[in-house]
Amino acid sequence: MPYFLDGNNLIGLARKSSRPGEDDRAALLSELSARLRSTRATVRVFFDGEGRAASYGSLTVSGVGGSADEAIVRELGKTSDPRQVIVVTADRELGRRVRDAGAKTMAPPDFWKRMAPSETAGGKETKVDVDEWLDYFADPKNRG
């Protein structure tokens, strides 16, 4: 089941900012890429504004050139079965629109929990704490 992510919305929730920069986008893509290595999920990220399309295995970035919300709804209209798509967003209006188009929605914290990578520490498997990651991501001194 593919996931469509409202990229700016995910960053905005973590950074408490409506205008993420390139470093924020790169950090989100890096984290997603790392988490996807241990899953079979496919993710397509939509960012507001100009951007170039790119593909990193099961992670695709869509260059929308405008509103990510509009691009997500438009892409749902192009899919053969929108019921197979999960849109990850906290934006209520976008959520309503994609449900009307037949897709499912998921809150960002639920997505992060579902995609939590397993790590091996001292021979036992542990899960990465989503809240810790969000706190880390939200702290500007940790942004490379």
pLDDT of residue 121: 38
Averages of pLDDT over each 10 residues, the chain, 144 residues: 90 68 85 86 90 83 86 95 96 96 95 73 44 54 49
pLDDT of residue 38: 80
Report the CATH number at residue 14: 3.40.50
CA 68 to the chain's CA centroid: 12
pLDDT of residue 141: 56
pLDDT of residue 27: 86
Q: In Å, what is the CA distance from 14 to each residue of 25, 46, 93, 140?
A: 12, 16, 20, 11
d(CA 142, CA 139): 6
Element (H, E) at 119: strand 118-121
Domain range for residue 70? 2-142
Rg (C-alpha) for the chain, rounded Å, is 15
- Helix, strand, coil abundance in the chain, percent, nearest 5: 45, 25, 30
Domains contained in the chain, number: 1
pLDDT of residue 118: 53
pLDDT of residue 45: 95
